[in-house]
């Protein structure tokens, strides 16, 4: 019951997509490693302001947030602890700016390295 109240509170706190069904949680419960976690929910923030709202909510609720880009890690960096909320930034996958001469790029967190090659 407390989990349901917390999830409703989370859904009210952000404008982005909040998913807590077993399939959504399983999709973001691991990465390319053998490690797995059981998050409370997956949140896809609508924008940067939504990320701020999510961080404020998590602080008040004392819930861990785990940022996730494409989830391609092979070492478990994006595996959430049980009960955490995964901040899925994978859909944020735009290349914003590239300087070939300066050898740098400004990208959103869902961009994978292979896309820049």
Domain ranges of the chain: 2-91
pTM: 0.88
pLDDT of amino acid 46: 97
Helix axes 48-61, 2-13, angle to 10 degrees: 150
* 25-68 per-position pLDDT tens digit: 999 999 889 999 999 999 999 999 999 999 999 999 999 999 99
Distance CA 35, CA 22 (A): 17
pLDDT of amino acid 1: 44
Whether 24 shows a pLDDT value over 70: the answer reads yes
Which of the four pLDDT bands, split at 50, 70 and 90, describes residue 3?
confident
Q: Dihedral angle at the C-alpha atoms of 13, 78, 81, 92, nearest 10 degrees?
A: 10
- What is the mean pLDDT of the segment spanning 17-25? 97
Architecture of the domain made up of 2-91: 2-Layer Sandwich (3.30)
Query: Are the C-beta atoms of residues 66 and 39 closer than 8 Å to each other?
Result: yes
Query: Are the C-beta atoms of residues 86 and 64 closer than 8 Å to each other?
Result: no
Distance CA 17, CA 35 (A): 25
């Amino acid at each position: 019951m407390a989990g349901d109240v917390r999830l409703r509170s989370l859904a009210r706190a952000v404008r982005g997509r909040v998913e807590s069904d077993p399939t959504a949680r399983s999709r973001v419960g691991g990465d390319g490693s053998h490690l797995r976690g059981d998050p409370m929910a997956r949140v896809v923030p609508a924008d940067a302001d939504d990320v701020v709202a999510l961080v404020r909510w998590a602080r008040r609720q004392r819930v861990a947030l785990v940022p996730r880009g494409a989830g391609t890690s092979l070492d478990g960096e994006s595996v959430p602890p049980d009960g955490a909320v995964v901040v899925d930034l994978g859909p944020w996958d735009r290349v914003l700016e590239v300087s070939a001469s300066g050898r740098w790029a400004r990208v959103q967190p869902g961009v994978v390295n292979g896309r820049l090659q």
